[in-house]
Amino acid sequence: MRGLRGGVAALLMGVLAGCGGEAEPRAAADFGEALFQDARLSESTFNRFSCATCHVTTPEAPAGRIDSGHSLYNVAARPGWWGGYETHLLDAVNFCYVNFMRGVTKLEAEDPRSRALYEYLSRISPDAQAPPLPFTVVKDIQDVPRGDIARGEAVYRAACQNCHGATHTGEGRLTELASLLPEVTQDYDRLFPGIPHAQVVIEKVRHGQFFGVGGNMPPYGTEALSDADLGALLTYLGL
C-alpha cells in the first residue's frame, strides 16, 4: 500500500504545485502505469486482478498469452469500445473495474486515479486514430468439435493457467476463488442435472459472469478465443 500512497502523494504534489508543463502529465502517466499493474486499485479485499491480468499493452499479444481483453495499445485512439457498446473510455474501464475487479463504486472522472490511468492509456496510444476492435459474444451456447490435446494444453497455459493454476492441483493460481480445473465439474451433475459438463464449461468461458452465470471471471468473445481453441481445450480437460 505504501507504494500506491506514495504515488498518490507525488501526483497530488505535482498538481498542487501547478507545474503545468511536461512533468505533471508524465508523472501522472507513470502513476497510471503503476495502478494498471496493481490489484489494489480495487478496494475489494477479494480482488486479485489488475488491469494487466487481462490486457497486454503491446501491439501484438506475446507468444503464449491469450487474454479475454484486447491489447490496450492504441486504446485511447479508438472511436469506441466493448464492440461499440461504450462510447466513453472511462465507462469502458469502469465496466472492467466494477464487474471483474469488484470495485465497489466506479472511478469518478475527477478521481486522480482516473486521470492517471487516462494519461497512461494515452501514452500507450501513439497513433492519432485506430480502428475499433470487435467483441463478439456467443449468445446461444452450442457444443464445439473437440480438437488436438497438445493444442488444448497450450491454450490452457495461455488462457486459463494464470488465474486457475495447474490443472488438478491449482498450484500457482492467482486466487483461491478460481476453481480447480477440471475437478470443479464433478459437482455439475448435482448443480446442473442433465446438462453435459462440457456445456457448462463452454457457458462459463463464453459468458464469464454474465447471462446469469455469476462470479467475476471475464467472458471470452470469439476474437479472443476461437471455437477451435475452445474445442482443443475441452479435449485437454477431458470433457
The residue assigned the cell 498469452 is 65
The residue assigned the cell 467475476 is 216
Cell of 230: 475452445
216 binding ligand HEC? (CB under 6 A): yes
Output the furthest CA–CA distance in the chain (Å, rounded).
65
Which residue type occupies 142?
A: Q
CB under 8 Å to 194, separation ≥6 — which residues? none
Residue 5 burial (CB count, 10 A) = 9
Size of the site for ligand HEC (CB under 6 A): 45
Contact segment (CB under 6 A) with ligand HEC among 2-10, 22-30, 72-80, 137-145 equals 72-80
232 binding ligand HEC? (CB under 6 A): no
Alpha-carbon distance of 162 to 158, in angstroms, equals: 8
Residues in the chain, overall count: 239
Between 13 and 71, whose beta carbon lies closer to ligand HEC?
A: 71
- Which residues between 35 and 64 bind ligand HEC (CB under 6 A)? 41, 49, 51, 53-55
138 binding ligand HEC? (CB under 6 A): no
Between 31 and 97, whose beta carbon lies closer to ligand HEC?
A: 97
Q: 44 with 101: CB under 8 angstroms?
A: yes
Binding residues for ligand HEC, per CB under 6 A? Answer: 41, 49, 51, 53-55, 68-70, 72, 75, 78, 81-82, 89, 92-93, 96-97, 100-101, 117, 133, 135, 159-160, 162-164, 175, 177-179, 181, 184, 201, 204-205, 209, 215-219, 233
